[in-house]
Each structure stands twice: as C-alpha cells, then as structure tokens.
Chains A and B, each alone.
Chain A
C-alpha cells in the first residue's frame, strides 16, 4: 500500500467560511486527489425549521452577505408555490427580474474587478502585495472607479426593488410589495447608457485577455464536464426562471425542459466523509461521472441563444472558440461572466422602459400547497430552495443546494489539475498557491456565508506528512 502525503493549504481569512485545500500525493509524489474543504452554512436548514413560511424569503438572506438577493428570490419562488401564487402578475415578475438583474450586474462586476482582474492585469505570479483591488486602484484608477460605480448601480437597483439594501422585503409569497416609482425609474435610466458602455468594455477586457492567452489558459485547471442550468422554453438563457437543461461535455443533451419541481428525480447529492459540502450529481449518470458545472460558463454552454442583441453577439464569439461545442476551459468563466454582465444591463434597460413596473397589481394567491421548490440562476450558478410547510404555516423541512455546492466537484477537479501541473516536490511554493487561488476564483465561490470580525486571521498554508507532521507552513496577510 502506498503511503500518501498530505499538503494542506489553509487560508483562514474569516472566522468561518474559510476554505482549506488538501492535496494528496502517492508514494511517487504524484498528485492523486485534491480536496477543497469549505465550511459553509451548516445547520441553516435546521435554523429555519419551525419558522412561518412568509418569514423565509427575508430570513434566508442572512445566509450570505454577497448574494442575499438570490436566496431572497429563490425562497420567494418556493413560497409562491406554497400560496399557489406562482403565476405572478406582470408587475411582480418584472420587479423581481429587475432586482435579480441588478444583483447579477453588481455581483459579476465585483467579482471581475475585485477578485479576477488583479490576476488578469498583473499576472498569476505577481506579488500578492499588488495583485489585489488596491493594486488595481493604484495602477488602473479609471478602471477601479468604473468597477465601484457599476457595483453601486446594481446595489441601488436592489435597494429600489427590495426596499432595503440588506434584509430586503420586496419579494413576498405570490408577488412583491412595491412597484418602481417614476422617480426611481428615471434615476436609473439616466445612467443606463454609461453602464452599457462599461459593460461592453468589460466584455472586451475579458475577451481580449482570453484570446491573447488562450494557449496558456486552455489547459489551466481545465477538464471536460457536464453543464447544468435553467433555460427558457425556447432554449434562451434566462437567469430568473425556466426549466432545467443538462448537457455533456460534447454538447449532447442529458435532459431538457425538466420542470424543476421534479428536480429530485434528476439530481441527487452525494455525501463524502471528508467534506461538509455535498456533491450533487445527475441521477441517470451516477456520482462518478454525473457531476456538473453551473454558473456563467455552464449557462453559456447550455443556452441556445441569448435574447438581448449585444450579449448574443458576444455569445456567438464565445462559442466560436470551441467551434460551437461546449467550452470546458475553466478560465473561460471570466469571459462568460462578463457576457452575462452585459446581458444583465441590457435586461435592466429593457425593464426600465417597461410600464408594467409602475403597475399596482402586485400579489396573487391560489391553491395552498405544502411543498414549494424555487430555483434561480444566481450569479454563481443554479440555486435550489426546497421547503415543506405544515398546516400551521410552519416550515417543517428545508433543503438548499447552493451554487458553490453545485460546483463542488468541479472546483476539486480544478485544484487537482493545477496541482498536477504546478506542484514540484512537496513544498508549497508561492507559485502553487497563486495558481490554486486563480483556479478556484474562476468559479467565484461564495464563502461569505460566514462571520467576519476585526482581528481576523491571515491566510495560512501548511504542509503535513503522512503522519500529520507539519513540513512547511506559509502565511499571508
């Protein structure tokens, strides 16, 4: 039996919600597996049991400081089913969509400019002291200002549609509790053209970078995979609502137009003893090969087309790189993400010019149900909320599959691939850590369902031998 050595990368940047990477080597010092440990919101399902169902869309926002709107809307969609109000009024659906596109816009802008652009602008191996948002601000101040204002614009849309910046209450079971005033609409419309221009320039940055570095990026942390997302009935990308579509690495359909109320017939979750996060997979294929990617890359692969003109042009260019076949390049997530950023801004413009947003018919109700399932394409990927509610209106059971969980296996694969390509000996070099970070960041994992407090720990890397002894340790921060 070979003796495995373990290399542990332990970035403790938060009190909880940190990730830890364990790379397993065989006796010949070859990488045989990588394990990304993510401590997420364990116990949240239990936390909401016993709560009245109408509280849930507000309560679930506490899962995450970065994507509370995704949880708010997914929970609201599930509760629509509970109250029999899933056929929303035009005003309600468009208000929710505006909220969601505002969120996607600010989330993608934040990730690209805050987390990804330092890698892209300074290079993977640049000193971590400058390879960060502060470094970008110093060297590319115009870009940094643009990023901050893009993020702010999306946040203001969230505030206008959800009612508040945090703990928004805009979406309620069966509808929304407010429309968009003329003053709010006009305030956003005056800046739309500027944001469209910025979104186009962001796509160009990502596209040009990918094209110029394709030889290096194509193998970086890459592997073939299945892809999963919601799509509209006609196959169009739809970030708010649709049916499930899954394709394999070659683009062959695994299933299509599956009503997500039946997702449990198609998706299962595997538990592994070393991880708190589950590993979702497609039932018909099994856990070994049925895992899939979600998020911008998956959505660009699954969608037949995008229904906004500028983003559709960009989608065609994106797909041309792989001759129309699914793009399985991990680093192409960034380009895909910026195409969605542009799509979101086009949708925001479309919605702001729609008079339904000033409508007053906000809520519908119908036949009461005891089970509600809500799915949404969150910025990081497909988000599942599944609840059971008893006759006393209390939640008795909840199951959430968040986007980062859906990408669990792919992130592990990406780390393993990077480690195989860049690990030399058993020492954790700065270069290895940099490359592992870059690969994981491509997925934009949300580890922020966590606390943070003044006095937090720095990032730490540790090398352990097979007996658990520390061979090497590195700290950042």
Chain B
C-alpha cells in the first residue's frame, strides 16, 4: 500500500494501573484529545478476539502499546504478511490461559474471518516499570510518551505510514537523531 488511507483507527492497549503498561491508553487519550479529523481512537486493557471485527472495517489501524524492549523512545513497524504468517505457523504465542491476543493475531483473524484488507502498524513505546500497581508512568516513560505523541500526531495527519516504518522500524528507531527529532517542545 502507498500509505495514504481513509479510515484510520488508533488503538491503545495496556493496563493503566500497572505503571508503564499504561503507555498505550495514555497515547490513545492524548490523540483523542487532539481531535484529528477522520481519526478514530479506541483503548482497552488488552486485545481480544472481537477486536478483529472492529478493525476489519478500517483501512488502517495503528496499535499502540508499551514495549518492554527495543529502541528508545519508540519504534514503529508494519504488521505485515510475514508476521501474520508466523502467527499461523507458531500459534502466535497464544498464552495457555491468557484471554488476550496479539496485534498480529487480531489482524490475522480480521483477514481470515472478515475478509479485511486492513493495513496494520504497531507503535511500541519503550517502558520500564511494569510489575507494581501504580497508576503513574515512570519519568523516562513519560519522556518517551511525549515523543510518541508528537510522532503519532504527525503520522496520523500525514498518513504516510510506510515512510515512517522505514524511518522508525525496530531496527532503525531510537537513535539519538530519532529521539531528538520527536522531542516535544516544552
């Protein structure tokens, strides 16, 4: 796809009571507040199978979640055919008692069950503190969130997702240059 799409969903997920796990919903709340035209926003603790029906009707979806590893302050990648194929081949790390599914699994279900052609992307915001019950984000996570909000706003307005995949994929994002590029103004 060329990256220009019409109906777009930003979906943040994570538990806001678990420290930096709340990065996804925090980003979703910030983007919703911006009121970007033609961008819909949703949030939940975690992804579940019915999200396949929700995303199926969109041209593109951006899943925003906390990342426990990878570049700082964030990375942005495409959930492409190869990652979806891995879901089919390996069971996609479906937890033995977990009720949640991964973004790739949701996309796979949307394609298999609802003939969806949704383009899907993952925005991983680096977090650090996950274990304790804490409604506050860590200070480093807040810095990363600030950068991610600035990035997400621009990406959603421009809708040039493929361009940003090249620039901020997990292998390339997080450089000093990348970090400074998206540092929000005070």
Instruction: Answer yes or no: A87 CB below 8 A from chain B CBs.
Output: no
Contacting residues, chain B, for A62 (C-beta < 8 A)? 15-18, 135
Q: Chain B interface: which of A12-20, A22-30, A389-397?
A: A12-20
A19 and B95 CA atoms in complex are apart in Å by 10
A415 and B17 CA atoms in complex are apart in Å by 31
Q: Which residue of A lies closest to B25 (CB)?
A: A166
User: Which one, A134, A448, A476, contacts B98 given CB within 8 A?
Assistant: A448
Contacting residues, chain A, for B18 (C-beta < 8 A)? 16, 62, 450-451
Contact assessment for A459 and B96 in the assembled complex, using a CB-CB cutoff below 8 Å:
yes
Contacting residues, chain B, for A11 (C-beta < 8 A)? 95-96
A453 and B75 CA atoms in complex are apart in Å by 13
Contact assessment for A13 and B96 in the assembled complex, using a CB-CB cutoff below 8 Å:
yes
* Chain B contacts to A: CB under 8 angstroms: 14-21, 42-46, 48-50, 52-54, 65-70, 87-101, 105, 108-109, 112-114, 122, 124, 127, 130-133, 135
* Chain A contacts to B: CB under 8 angstroms: 11, 13-16, 19, 41, 43-44, 47, 59, 62-66, 68, 106, 110-111, 113-115, 128-135, 137-138, 141, 144-145, 147-149, 151-152, 155, 165-166, 437, 440-441, 444-448, 450-456, 458-459, 476-477
* Min C-beta distance of B1 to chain A, whole Å: 22
A141 and B109 CA atoms in complex are apart in Å by 10
Contact assessment for B132 and A43 in the assembled complex, using a CB-CB cutoff below 8 Å:
yes
Contacting residues, chain A, for B69 (C-beta < 8 A)? 455
Contacting residues, chain A, for B19 (C-beta < 8 A)? 451
Task: Tell which of A66, A137, A452, A458 has the most Cβ of chain B within 10 Å.
Answer: A452
Contact assessment for B93 and A441 in the assembled complex, using a CB-CB cutoff below 8 Å:
no
Contact assessment for B49 and A148 in the assembled complex, using a CB-CB cutoff below 8 Å:
yes
A451-B131, A453-B66, A453-B130 as given contacts; A65 in contact with B46, CB under 8 Å: yes
Contact assessment for A47 and B88 in the assembled complex, using a CB-CB cutoff below 8 Å:
no
Contact assessment for B46 and A111 in the assembled complex, using a CB-CB cutoff below 8 Å:
no
Contacting residues, chain A, for B93 (C-beta < 8 A)? 13, 456, 458-459, 476-477
- 27 A-B contacts (beta carbon < 8 Å): A65-B44, A65-B45, A65-B46, A110-B99, A111-B99, A114-B101, A130-B91, A132-B92, A133-B49, A133-B101, A134-B91, A134-B94, A134-B109, A135-B91, A144-B109, A149-B50, A151-B48, A152-B54, A447-B97, A448-B46, A451-B66, A452-B100, A453-B14, A454-B66, A456-B68, A459-B93, A477-B90
Contact assessment for A131 and B65 in the assembled complex, using a CB-CB cutoff below 8 Å:
no
Contact assessment for A441 and B91 in the assembled complex, using a CB-CB cutoff below 8 Å:
no
* Min C-beta distance of A135 to chain B, whole Å: 8
Q: Which residue of A lies closest to B123 (CB)?
A: A454
A16-B131, A144-B109 as given contacts; A453 in contact with B44, CB under 8 Å: no
User: Which one, A129, A165, A452, contacts B21 given CB within 8 A?
Assistant: A452
Contact assessment for A149 and B53 in the assembled complex, using a CB-CB cutoff below 8 Å:
yes
User: Which one, B44, B68, B101, contacts A455 given CB within 8 A?
Assistant: B68
Contact assessment for B91 and A115 in the assembled complex, using a CB-CB cutoff below 8 Å:
no
